Structure formats: C-alpha cells, structure tokens
Structure 1
C-alpha cells in the first residue's frame, strides 16, 4: 500500500513534505525542563525534546542527564533538549521512517528520527559525509535514457510525493530498461541503493537494478531484485567492486524472461563510494554531497564531574562489522580522551589521558550485523578505567584498568561529541540512548 502524503509544519522551520506508512503512529513524548542543584552551581539539564526522554524528576541516583529516542512528534523529525546540539549543514535531506516510508525535504540542522521497520526502535540518525554520484536520483528526463521501447513517467514515491519514475516494459520480445551514465571509480568498493514499488508482472518476474561497472558476482545477488507482483515500497541495496566497464546503472521493470511485459516504480537511487548505504541523497542534475552530522553535549563542565566521567551510549550502527572505513567515535572529549569502534578489527577502544599519564583499553574484535544494538558503558574514576559493551542485550564483553591516569581536563570547547568528533560523524548510526552519571 502506498504511503499517504501529509504536510506538516515545524515551529520556526519551513514547511516540509513528510510521509508515513499507514501503520505509522506518531505520538508526542515531551518531558519538561528540570533545574538540578549540584556542587558549584545549578544545573539546567533541559527537556528531552519531541519524541525523546530528557532529564526529569525521579532520575536514578547519580544520573546527571539522559536522552532516549522515542516516537517523534512529527514523522522523521526530533526536537532535541537544550543540552544537546546538532549541526547538519546540508539541506534537503531524507530519512527512512518505516519499511516502506521515507521523509524528504528535511532542512539543515534539523535532527532526523529513523527506523527501518514499523516494529523497529527509533533512533537519532547521525551520518558521515557521503556523495551520491547518480546525477538524477529519480529516473526521468536526461541524462536518463531508455532501450527497447521502455517508457518513463512520473509517479508517487515512498515519501508520498512525485519523487519516483515509473519504468514500463512494452516490448514483447526484448527486456526493456532505463539507464543512466555515471562517473566510475575504478577498483573501489561502492554501494547502490534505491526504492522499488508498484511492481506489476507475472509470478517469476522481478524488477532489477544492475550496475554495469560492478563485478559480475554483485549482479546476480538476490538483493538486486524484487519479485513481482509487489505493491509496497521496499529499499534494496547491494555492494560491488567497480571495474573499467561502462559506468551505467540499469533499471529493468520486468526482468526474468525477455518477452514479459510489466512496469515498476523506482525512487531515490544512490551510488556511494562506501561498503554500505546511507540515507537517500536526492540529486537534480549532478552529483551531490551531504556533509557529516555533528552532535555534541554542550555542558561538559557538568558531565565531566571533578575530572571524572561515567556514560552510557546505546547505538545501532547502520553498518555491519567489517563495513566501516574509518574509526567511529562514540564519545569524543579530545584526541587523548575518546571511545571508538576501531575500523581495522571492530574492537571497542577507550583512550584516556590525565594528570598522571595515558592509558588505552580495548576489547577483542567484535562482530555485529547492520542495525544491531550495541550498549556501551564507559567509566573514568579514581578507581580506574572501565569499558563494557553488550551486543543486542545478550553478549557482554568488559575490560578495565587500575587507577593510573588521574583526572582529565574539561575541553576548552565545553563540548562532548557523541557518535563523532568535531568534524562530524565518521560513519552512519542511530543514537538510541545517551546517559551521563556522577562519579564518586
């Protein structure tokens, strides 16, 4: 069933076209501002923002503040508490809000609420910088071309807008297709993603996306095909190594047998130089770059209490272990004080630098799937350093070291960066929860 389009307006923001599937329910979970007295002054911890939980009366002993993702007040959009700041300079962004629904047209600096299925948890989507090399992300006018009497018409997309191109196969002898030339990146591992829906055809037919420059192994993968008939929108992706063959992406609405006729709608096509897909990057005639998201807590002087800190971060990486290209910071205070997922082996690493020296803790290499939850607990205290990770609520791994580092300094910026460093997120993930505690 197609997503129904609705228009929402956010206070102080431009009107944005949003969409939600019929099964989506949007509720408001707004907590009030709280003033908490602590040593040295009064703490204004802020509210949880629309769709999240913030500092409230009745917090567990020792908890300074928290934010937890929940259902957003507007589909795809969060309002963060005052102690959290998001900087996201690229306008016209998108976010997935269900198995078959997208929100598009999100302005710069607006936090995005993401989930990959109607029964999946919500999270604050934070992404690294990415470029979509497909010059026109919706099949339609040139540079798109057709072969064997194929035709392209405007159609409603997964955001409820006319954001899709409907490709029809009207040739009873050949497999008709639409295709677009793209710039190659020979030898690099790249990922194609796109949304497919309203697929007509007989049993055994399928809509198919093919990357001509990818290695042959990637072209036969089941992830490149969606079986007919299928009405609901579905996002698919596949990864391959680019060769020196022609840089072209082909869309087949009725593949299987050349004589079959049919039609399918395609929307929000991405070609990214990465091992996994990020959110759709709409393009209107040329390649387009989306800059990295930057999220930080702006009250480090209260969260690093007397030079010590204790935090909990729950995240769902949008990548599986082995798919990241860069070390991914989960908490970043400064270059000598950070916690990150190491790209080389998937280990969780903590570095701490204090008045008495430096220390590094690292778990064994971890293994996880895309969207699998990781719960990370971090502590730097007079007793020493502690690092623990729980994978999907089951497997627990912990490491610790005795007191040797000493207290750390509050960063001059007054910020603690979350799921990234001052340059932004190095990879793509959803923040499910973040909590800070006093340390004694």
Structure 2
C-alpha cells in the first residue's frame, strides 16, 4: 500500500530534483519519483547509481545541451532509422540527387552537421570521460551500449571536418549512409538510455544541490538526525530517535506550532529513503516498510460519498489491516478523528493509540489536540513529543522544536481575546 499524495510530490518535491533538459527525461524522472522498489536491495541499487553519478560529478556536473537541437536530432535519426527519410546508398546517385536538389542538399547537410556536433559534444564532454566501472552492472551496461552507439558514428573525424569547414557533400553522404545502417531499435534504445541517464543525473544534482544524505536500513532502528522540510526557506531542524519498543509516536502542541509540517517532514524522509533518493537530514536509519501512508489532509471524498470522518476511518482500517497481515507499516495521521465530536474522538483515539502498540513491526505517528488523552496513553510503547511554544506577554512564540513530553498549552482562547473578538462579540 502506498498513500503519499499529501506529500505533494509533483508540486513540492519534483522541483527539488528536476534539472532535466529533455522532455522524455522529465517523464522518466517523475516515474522514478513515484515508484517504490519492492526490496531493500533494489533501493540500495538506486542509491548506488546516484552515488556513482556523484563520484563522477567533476566530469558530468556541467552536463548540458540545447533542447531544440536534441529534439531535431532525435527526429532526424528516427526518420532515417524508420526509413521515413530514405538516404540513397549509391554515392553517385546520392551526389547527383543532392547536387540537383538544392533544398534537399541543404537540409541533409544541415541536419548531419547538427547531429554530429550535438552527439560529439555529449560523447567528448560527458560519456567518454565517465568512470563507467564506478556504476552498478545493469546501469554500466547501458552506458557501454550508449558509448558503442556513438563510437560507430565516427563523430570525432566528422566534427573535425566541420570545424575546418571541410564537411563536403561526399562527407555528408558518407555520414548519412552510416546513419541508415542503424536499426530502429538501436536508435530507440539510445534515446531511452539517454533519458534514463539524464533523469538519474538530475536526481543526483538534486541530492548535491540540496545537501541530502543517503539513508541506511535496519530492522530495529528508527533514527533521523537534523531532518527538515526542504521547501521551507529557513527550516528548523529536528531529530528523532526511537527505541525498538517505541512504535507509536504521539505529538501534541497548539495550533500553528508546526505539527503538520513536522509530520510531513518525517513522512518525506521515509518516502525518499524508500525510493533510493537522498533525504533532507544529516543522517537517517530506518526499517524497510511495505506500507507507507501519510495522511495530513484527510478531506471529504465526494466521489465515493465518504464524509471527512468516514475517510479517516477507512484510511485507518486499511493501515491496520496491512499491519495485521504482518506487513511493516509506516503511517502518519495528522489530527486524527477531527471529523467527529470531541466525546467520540476522545474515546476512539484512545482505543486507536493503545491498540496500535500491538503492531510491533510498524511505526505510527499521530498528532492530536485531545489533551485529555494524557493519562490514558501510558504504555512504554508510546513515545510522547510536543512542539515547543512559549507565551510572551500572553502571545505565543513558536520555536518549531520537537521536544519530549506532553503539551498542555492552549492558545485558542488567548488568540481569540488578543484579537479583541471577545469584546466585539459581548458588547
């Protein structure tokens, strides 16, 4: 089970990693961002690809090209490979056709020059300089195939002729003949490999630019040091260290103290860790979860007819069923059961929090305003945190720092009176 739409992946997270130039590379990047590998080994495999890119960063950090050039070269190669554009194999006929067809001669030579210059630049400034052996085997083979594709085009010699203004009609004919020997599958595979290369390069650049760390996985550890949400301009960093017995985290604190942001930050670290990306923290060690559910904005589901409260019930039920099936679950519930009256909410929240402690293979993070729960959730499997807030001349000052313990602070009435509403409504 995967429920992470409340992380706003496309709006908030994708831009942190999107340095792609090509359209298809951008699509591949978004696919990778949404796809969670099935095993820890696969996650480490993705990490190793990204680490290989970073180890080659001095070579590929400035990787770039003109998007329009790439689009036009791609069309040109595909047209030749699919025979939509037929290049005459007989050099005398080709020369005759090119000499007698001014427009065709100009177009083919121009496209040939554009293709040679683009691919030669990529070959010499990037792919040829890579330490290919640093990459994991499947990705390494892909890189070697790309290099082989480029090498058979004799790009260096043709680029020299172009620079020396010696790229003649016969040279253009020879180059086009070489292109026509390529199969449709060879050309298609090259562009797909190029898109995957660029997508992972883009992710690696996001990891470097945002100073993210690669997490590790351990079945009996849940530790995230100095984590934060990366879209904040001046984020406050917090740390979490749970013992193997602490599987339910209950977070209190007044409105505006930052509970939702903190939960979204923890959830983002867990999710990015599971897709093999770097996480916004100084270090991170987690169990590998089969289920990730991050429910921050549980709104009414009009399509299925569920009310806000029923959506909360269904979300919780699904997570509990997954945990009951011996799956390792990570779930976040922000202000759970706020869709019902306080008496019901208090009773069922108490049952929920205490009941979740029996699923020792999973971790649950829950925020609440129900301060009456304080004495009803005393299990040593429940870790209580609050977001620090102090009153300064009866006005709340938020530090957004996570600290152990329970918060009894109520600021609703204070703010109500500070804004003069009590006086306005009673006079």
Same fold (TM over 0.5): no
Relative contact order higher in (CA < 8 Å, ≥ 6 apart): 2
Structure possessing the higher radius of gyration over alpha carbons: 2
Category of TM-score, reference length = shorter chain: under 0.3
- Please state which structure has a larger fraction of its residues in helix: 2
- Please state which structure has a larger fraction of its residues in strand: 1
TM-score by length of 1: 0.27
